Amino acid sequence: MSTPTFSIDVGNSSIGVVAWEGDAPRLVRHADPEAATAGLHGDIAIIAVSKARLARLLIALPAESRPHVLERPPAGLGAPELLATAGADRVAAALALGRGPAIAVDAGTAATVELVDAKGRYLGGFIAPGPAAAAAGLAEATARLPRLDGAPAPLTPGGETRAALAAGTWGLAVGGLDRLVELARKALGSDAVRVVATGGWSAAWLRDSRITGVELDELLVHRGILRWAAAG
């Protein structure tokens, strides 16, 4: 397909939309599919990890738009059996990296760490719960702990329960993601590996992280969507 006018990433907790018209693409996040379709037109490249939210979005799209749902990864990106189980957001992040060795970190509802080798081949990676998902799971699994939203918190011991829980949840997210990036670097055989972070809590992670030299790119997944659409 031609260069899309818009790219859409239908996630579990939000829908990201980028308009590629003009010189300054900007990411806008929406809570629901219907709101995400306002003003859309032309060719629209879409990836989704939620089939139900994707179905709602497709129904709500303006009649004059031309949606293209990207599902089959481009040939040569990696082993077919590996890509067959990878979510579309993970595939797009790997595509955006191009030739590596490189690592993509997507800090969202799930925290994903993707590896690409020197030839641009996807090698897989790690999937872990983000802080909001971890906080929700802990509240479900315990009788007395409150459910928090997983927001960044001071990494100091908390006195009362909510403060201790907030610090512990955030500290686990930051430290756990740091460790996964370290393991990814080791798997790629070098510390001199490009690391690019994206996602809703990526900037907050970097403020508290021990990992250095990380690039922030909120459009990373959407750049991958463009490459995917061009390869289709």
Q: Which residues are catalytic?
A: 89
Sheet bearing 15-19, strands edge to edge: 26-30, 15-19, 6-10, 43-48, 66-69
The alpha-helical segments, DSSP class H, found in the chain are: 33-36, 51-60, 80-83, 88-97, 131-141, 161-188, 202-208, 220-231
Instruction: Name the one residue in this structure whose structure tokens are 């939000």.
Output: 14
The terminus-to-terminus CA distance of the chain in angstroms comes to 7
Q: Which residues touch 212 (CB under 8 Å, ≥6 apart)?
A: none
**Whole-number Å distance between alpha carbons of 178 and 47:** 27
Residue 143, number of CB atoms within 10 A of its CB: 5
